[in-house]
Amino acid sequence: DAGVTQSPTHLIKTRGQQVTLRCSPKSGHDTVSWYQQALGQGPQFIFQYYEEEERQRGNFPDRFSGHQFPNYSSELNVNALLLGDSALYLCASSPIGVGATEAFFGQGTRLTVV
Amino acid sequence: DAKTTQPNSMESNEEEPVHLPCNHSTISGTDYIHWYRQLPSQGPEYVIHGLTSNVNNRMASLAIAEDRKSSTLILHRATLRDAAVYYCILRANTDKLIFGTGTRLQVFP
């Protein structure tokens, strides 16, 4: 089992551009969550997808959007990039549950906005 | 979202036990207590979780206070590989994980 895989691992973009990050969940998992981790901080919840719909969302602007495909893989899109969007973006997958399920994280995509 | 409070950093020597504390005085009855750790340049890794009773697994033990307002993650014999940031998280039925700043554990040979 490959676990959670994310691509690309590193990315450099220019302010104002758009970026798409990709995530393949662990086999058997149908729920995907995205997190943003700034340097020296804990991960911050962006949103969660289940059954191809956004199930819940954290305190992030509409520039951050996502999608989940029928095979449960997911994309995170960020429009009009700002310097402050530079961070490690983490994807986590889990089976749908109510608090007792373990989440598996990918290695993340390091996004640098210049 | 219920919050947790952890010390910013802790130190240990290799092969000694480590007790990482966490306070969560606003915990609700349905909140599970989860611990994750993050090694340098990696995504967070699940360690252990519990609801009311103490829990053991191959990685660690979780001791939960009777009133559930605090908990302690116990690493029985620290190794250099255990050096990481440890996050104590309350996870409700919404499934999202709310991370704080965690405890940075340093392990010395």
A9-40: pLDDT as tens digits: 999 999 999 999 999 999 988 999 999 999 98
**Which among B96, B98, B99, B101 is the top mutation candidate for probing chain A, defined by the most A β-carbons within 10 Å of its own β-carbon?**
B96
Size of interface A-B (CB pairs under 8 A): 62
pLDDT of residue B3: 86
- C-alpha A104/C-alpha B103 separation (Å) is 20
Place of tokens 């040979």: B109
pLDDT of residue B29: 87
Contacts of B45 in chain A (CB under 8 A): 105
List residues of chain A with CB under 8 Å from any CB of chain B.
4, 31, 33, 35, 41-45, 48, 56, 58, 90, 92, 94, 96-108
Q: Cβ contact (<8 Å) for B43 and A4? A: yes
pLDDT of residue B73: 98
Phi, psi (deg, nearest 5) at residue A105:
-105, 150
User: Given pLDDT bands bounded at 50, 70 and 90, which one contains residue A100?
Assistant: low
The DSSP secondary structure of B72-99, one letter per residue, reads EEEESS--GGG-EEEEEEEE-TT-----
Least confident of A94-98, B24-28, B31-35: A94-98
Phi, psi (deg, nearest 5) at residue A15:
-50, 135
- pLDDT digit string (tens) for B43-98? 999 999 999 999 999 999 999 999 999 999 999 999 999 999 999 998 876 678 88
Beta carbons of A20 and A3 less than 8 angstroms apart: no
